[in-house]
Structure 1
C-alpha cells in the first residue's frame, strides 16, 4: 500500500512536469526541422547544455542576458534572433537582438505582455499592474495616469525634485569630507526613492537621512527577489522568501493606504496648497470626476491604486538610480566627456558650482538646454540598459528580418535584449565604447544611431510612462553633482578586501551589471567622492 501511495504521489507530482517537458521539446523539434536558428539542441535537455560554456566566459552572478548576447553573435546570418529552450528555468524563448525585429515585436505588432511576468512583479507590486496588464484594463489604467507624467506636471514638481537633490548633494559632501569608501548605488537608490515618493504620493520619505518603512520594505523585497535565471535551489526555493515578501507587502500597503487617505482628504476639502499635485492627486481627481464624493476613498480604487503606486516606487527609483551611478562612472573614466559636460553646465547655469539648483528653480526651462548632458545620459543607457523588453508571441504573428527570413512567435515568449541590441556591432560602430557624440551628429553620419536601436524606455504604446521624469531626475542630478565632485570607483580596494578568483569583468567593465530588480552595478559600486579641485 505504501508503494502504491508513493507511486501515485510521484505520478501526481512528476506527471505534469513530464507532460509539459514533452510538449515544449516537441515544439522545438518542429522549429528545428524548419531550419530556424538555434544552438545545438538535445531532445531531452533542450539547450541546457549550451549555457555552461557561455557562463564560463562571464563572471559569476552577471546577467543571463549577457550570455545570450554572446550567443547571438553566432547567428549573424539571421540578422538578430534565435530560439532557445532552457525549460524548466524559463519558458520557450525567441531572443531578439536586432532593432528591426524589436520594432516589429513592440511597435508594429504591439505584442502583449506575457503571463510569465506576473510572478516576477507579484512581490514588488502586489497585484495586477500597468506593467503586466493588457487590453482594455491596461488602456484604462494608463489613461488615468498619463496626465500625472506629462511634461507640464514635471515642470511643476521640479522644485520638489531639487529639494531631494540638495539632500543628496549634502550627503555626498559629507562623504567627500570623510574620505571614506561607500556604496554609491545604495545611497542613490535611497535618494531616488525620496524623489519618486514626493512625485508619486506627495510625501517626503527622507530615506537618505533616516529609516523609512515604505522605502525599506521595497528595497528588502528587491534584495530577496529571486530572478528567473537563478539555478541554486537553496536560493530559488528559499522557504523564508514568501514570509519576508508577505511582511514587506503588508508594510507597504499600510503606508500607502495612509497616504492615499491624506491625498483624498486634500482633494475633498479643496483647500489651496503650495505643493504641486502628485501623480496620485491627479489620478484621484480624474477618478472622482464621474463619482459622488463620499467620506472615504472608494475601496476598489484604493486597492487598485495601491498596486500601481508600488510599481511606480519600484520602477521610478530603481532604474533611474543605477543610470545616475553609471553616468558618474562613465564620466570619471572619460575626462574629455567630463570636461565637456562641465563646460555646458558653466554656460547654462553660470560658473558658480552650487548655483544649478537655484537657477533651475527660477528658470526650469534650462533643464532642456543641456544637449551634451542628454547625450551622456543616452550613451550611458545604451551601454547599461536597466532592463530588457518581454512580449508574448501570438498565432499568425511572424517576424521577418531584412534578408526575408521569417520567424514564427506562437507559443513563445519574445525576449528583446536591450543590451544585445545596444551593443550589436552590425548597427553601432565601436559598440562597447562610450561615445556621447553619437547623439549629437546629423543623419548620415557613421555614428548616427540606427532606427529603433536605442530602447531603454521602449517604443510604441507600451513605452515607459515615466521616461520624462527619469530624464529630468538624471539631468538635475548631474547638473548638481559633476561640477562639484569627482567620483572614483574603488573596485581595486574592494577586491583586496573581498578577494575571489575567476573573471571579474563583463565587456571589459569591472562595474558590470547584476540582476537585482533592475540591472545594478555589482557590489553596489564602491567609490570615493572628492571635492573637485578649484581651477585658477
Structure 2
C-alpha cells in the first residue's frame, strides 16, 4: 500500500514526469519481453553457443575479428559452420543488430527449398537492393511481376540467341586484347577488375540495348554511375555509418546525384527505342530478339495493336509503374550482368597465375579445337560458335574457379509457422526469418569436394569422382536460378579463348599470410587477403585485383 501511495503522490505532484516515466517503463518492458521470447526461440536449436543476453552476436564478433573487414557474409557463415562443426542447418540469432537467419549448408536441403518446393525470395533482398536499383528488380521480386519479367527476358538468354552474340563478344574482346598488349609492353600494374568491367559492360550493353556503350574506348557515363551505385551498396553495410545521420544524408545526396544523371540516359533510350519500333511497325520477335529492351517493350506494342486492331498506333504512353519497372530492371541487368562475370574473370586469372599445368592444358585444348593461329581461331569461332561447347577443360576451369569464388547467396522466405525437415527432425522457421542458402559452404566442404582447397579443374571431368549438379551452387538452382548463366559461361569461354594463349597474368603486391585466417581454406597462404571477397552488390574482388600481364612467347 505504501508503494501505491508513493506512486499516486508522485503522479499528482509531477504528472508530466510521471507520464514520461510510465511510457519509458512500458517501452522497456516490451523490449525485454520481446527479447526474452526471441532468445528463447533459439535455445534448443542447432547453432553455435547461444547466450541468453547476446544471442549469437558474440560468436559473430569473434569470427569477424579473424576475417578481413567488409568481407561477403558467405565467408562468415562458412567459418562459423566449421568452427562449431555445424552440418546441414544451423541458426544465427543476431537480434537486434541484424536479421536473424537459418543457414542451409547441405545441397540436398537447398534443393528442397529451390527445386522441389521453391520458396520465394526474402523481403530483405528487396530491402537491400531497392534503395540502390529500385523496387521490383527481377532478382528479388516475387509473384506475378517476377513471372512477367522472366517470361519477357528469357528468350534473350536461350542458347540459340546467345550464339548469335558471338560476333559481339569477339569485337569487344579485340579491344580488351589491345589494352592488355599495352599493359604488357609497359609492365605497369593495373586493375583487372576495372579493365574487365569495361569489357563485360560493353557486352551486356549490346545484349540489353543492341548498341555500343563504348566503355572500353571512352568514359562511359552508364558504367561510371552504376559503379558508384555499387560503392553505395558497399557503404550501406557499414553499421557505424548507418546510424550516423550526417553520413546517411551524405549518402542520400550522392545517390540522388548519381540517379539524376543515370535515369535520364536510360529513360531516353527506352523512349527512343519504343518510338522507333512503333514508327517502323516492328513487333519484336521472341524467337530472334534484337535486345532485352525490345522484349520488355514487346508486351506494350502488342497491347497497342490489340486495342487499335492494326499496327497504326504511332505513340504509346507508358504508365509511371511500367516506366519504373523498365528503368529498375535495365539498371539491374546492366549492374548484375557485368558485375558477376567480371568478378569471376578476375579470380580465374588469379588462380591460373599459380596453375601453370592447368593453363598449359587449356591452351592445348584451344589449339586442338580451334587451331594454333589466332586469326584462324577467330574465323572458326565466328563460323561455328557451337564449337565453344567442345571445350570441356576450359569449362572445368571456369566451374572450378566459380566453386572457389561463388558470387554470393540468396535468401528465401517461408510462411510463419513453416518447418524444414532434416533427417526426420523438423526445424521451425520464425516470422520474417531469412533462410540463407550458403552455397559457399558445400564448395569448401570435403564431403562434397575432396581436397576442397585445391584448384583442381579435373574434378569436373573425372567420371569416378564426378560432381552432382546439386553440389554446384554458384548460379543457384530451380526456377529462380540465374537467368544469365548461359551468357556468362559463353562470355568467359570467348574471353579465355582470345586471351590466355597470348597473355599471362601475375598478381601484384601479394602478401601471403603466414598461416590461414580461417579453417575452411588455406588459399590466403598463397594469395593473401585478396581471396576474401568483398560485399558490394555481389561478392566482388578485394582491392580491384591488381595485376601485371606479359606476352606468352
TM-score (structure 2 length as normaliser) = 0.86
CA distance in 1, matches of 2:26, 2:373: 71
Please say if 1:56 is aligned against 2:65: yes
> In the alignment, does 2:203 pair up with 1:192?
no
1:75–1:358 CA distance, 2 compared to 1 (3 A): same
Distance in 1, Cα, partners of 2:239 & 2:229: 19
Q: Which residue of 1 aligns with 2:266?
A: 256
Seen in structure 2, the aligned counterparts of structure 1 residues 27 and 257 have a Cα distance that, compared at 3 Å, is same
- Please report how far the alpha carbon of residue 75 of structure 1 lies from its aligned counterpart in structure 2 after TM superposition: 5.2
1-side partners of 2:462 and 2:486: how far apart? 23
Matched residue of 1:125: which SS? coil
Corresponding position of 1:435: 456
Match of 2:238?
A: 230
Residue 10 of structure 2 is matched in structure 1 by none
Q: Distance in 2 between matches of 1:491 and 1:527?
A: 8
Most deviating of 201-210 and 483-492: 201-210
Q: 1:29 aligns with which of 40, 43, 64?
A: 40
Measured in 1, the distance between the counterparts of 2:22 and 2:408 equals 39
1:75-474 aligned within 5 A: 76=85, 79-226=87-234, 229-233=237-241, 238-239=247-248, 240-270=250-280, 277-292=290-305, 293-296=313-316, 298-300=318-320, 301-401=322-422, 403-411=423-431, 412-442=433-463, 445=464, 447-474=465-492
Following superposition, the deviation at residue 491 of structure 1 comes to 2.5
Alignment partners' CA distance in 2, 1:441 and 1:159: 33
> How far off its partner does 1:52 sit?
2.2
Q: Distance in 2 between matches of 1:250 and 1:37?
A: 47
Tell which structure's C-alpha radius of gyration is larger. 2
- Conserved 8 A contact 1:353-1:484: no
SS in 1 for 2:331: helix
Partner SS for 2:238: coil
Q: Do the aligned partners of residues 269 and 338 (structure 1) sit closer, same or farther apart at CA in structure 2, a change above 3 Å counting? A: same
Describe the SS at the equivalent of 1:110: coil
Change (3 A) 1:392 1:2: farther
Q: Any stretches of 5+ residues in structure 2 without a counterpart? A: 1-12, 306-312
User: Which deviates more, 350-359 or 241-250?
Assistant: 350-359
Deviation at residue 11 of structure 1 after TM alignment: 6.3
Q: In terms of mean alpha carbon deviation, does 462-471 or 16-25 score higher?
A: 16-25
Instruction: Write the distance in 1 (CA, Å) between the matches of 2:237 and 2:29.
Output: 21
1:432-477 residue CA offsets vs partner (Å, 9 max, x unmatched): 11111121122xx2x3224511111111111111111111111111
- Report the Cα offset of residue 119 of structure 1: 2.4
* Alignment partners' CA distance in 1, 2:27 and 2:218: 49
Contact 2:74 2:408 in 1 (8 A): no
Matching residue of 1:68: 77
Q: Alpha carbon RMSD of aligned pairs, Å? A: 3.1
CA distance in 2, matches of 1:339, 1:408: 51
**Residue aligned with 2:204, SS:** helix
Counterparts of 1:335 and 1:253, CA distance in 2: 45
Distance 1:148-1:56 versus aligned 2 partners, 3 A rule: same
Shift of 1:141: 1.7
Aligned residues: 519
Structure 2 SS opposite 1:528: strand
Contact 1:396 1:410 in 2 (8 A): yes
Note if contact 1:21-1:87 (Cα within 8 Å) is conserved in structure 2.
no
Q: Secondary structure at the match of 2:471?
A: coil
> How many angstroms apart in 2 are the aligned matches of 1:81 and 1:205?
45
User: 2 CA distance for matches of 1:476 and 1:180?
Assistant: 25
Q: Is the 8 A contact 1:98 1:424 kept in 2?
A: no
Relative distance call for 1:436 and 1:114 in structure 2 (3 A) is same
The separation in 2 between residues aligned to 1:234 and 1:91, in whole angstroms, is: 15
Instruction: Return the TM-score normalized by structure 1.
Output: 0.89
